[in-house]
Amino acid sequence: MKLMDPNTDTRNLQDEYKGLTNEQVFDALDEHRNPLEVAIENVEHDFNAGTIVRSANNFNVRRLHIIGRRKYNRRGAMCTDKYLEVVYWSDLQSFMDDQRSRGQELVAIENHTERTEPLAEKKFQFNTTLLFGSEGNGLTQEALEQVDDVREIESFGSTRSVNVGVAAGIAMYEWARQCVLGKGES
């Protein structure tokens, strides 16, 4: 049931969702969510957190976790957080306990640690949670010690890395390429 005229609905939605309420859009997306989950730890009030939220909506992730501070720059999310299940965790350990109890593989996307391996070599599991830190500070050492895997996006230019908002989109796409599109190597 459409509640507004789809032709005058100015929200950034696919045509099939135009005219629906936010709740109806959420419910329609919920019928075919991907099992991928995304977590942001050590969030600062930056535009990149909003970009990660928007990308999480684009990939229709099952759940978005924000660990620590609840505030982030929602402008970058373009209201897409209304169509996602967003779970706030006041501390890292509660989040980790939840992930372990549900059998999620935790993959950190982080640069230049002892454990870091190239993202291109990762064979993703279906039930994966991608963990990102804030721009600048990255993930805490405590988080890096508890994840199953640490990956980085290879750089080919003079900069050390892409920003975290871009990295999140790349990592979510690689998971989707392997697990949704079936393009992973056997």
**Which CATH number characterizes residue 120's domain?**
3.40.1280.10
CA distance 153 to 36: 18
Number of independent structural domains in the chain? 1
pTM score: 0.89
Range of the domain at 129: 20-179
pLDDT digits (tens, 9 = 90+) for 129-145: 999 997 778 899 999 99
In a domain, 64, yes or no: yes
In a domain, 186, yes or no: no
- Confidence band for 111, pLDDT divided at 50, 70 and 90: confident
Q: Is residue 160 part of a domain?
A: yes
- Exposed/middle/buried for 112, CB within 10 Å: 0-12, 13-18, 19+? exposed
The verdict on residue 7 lying in a domain is: no
User: Does any domain span residue 87?
Assistant: yes
Question: Is 44 a domain residue?
Answer: yes
> For 1-22, how does the pLDDT look when each residue is reduced to its tens digit (9 = 90+)?
666 777 778 878 888 998 898 8
Residue 156 inside a domain? The answer is: yes
Q: Does residue 10 fall inside a structural domain? A: no
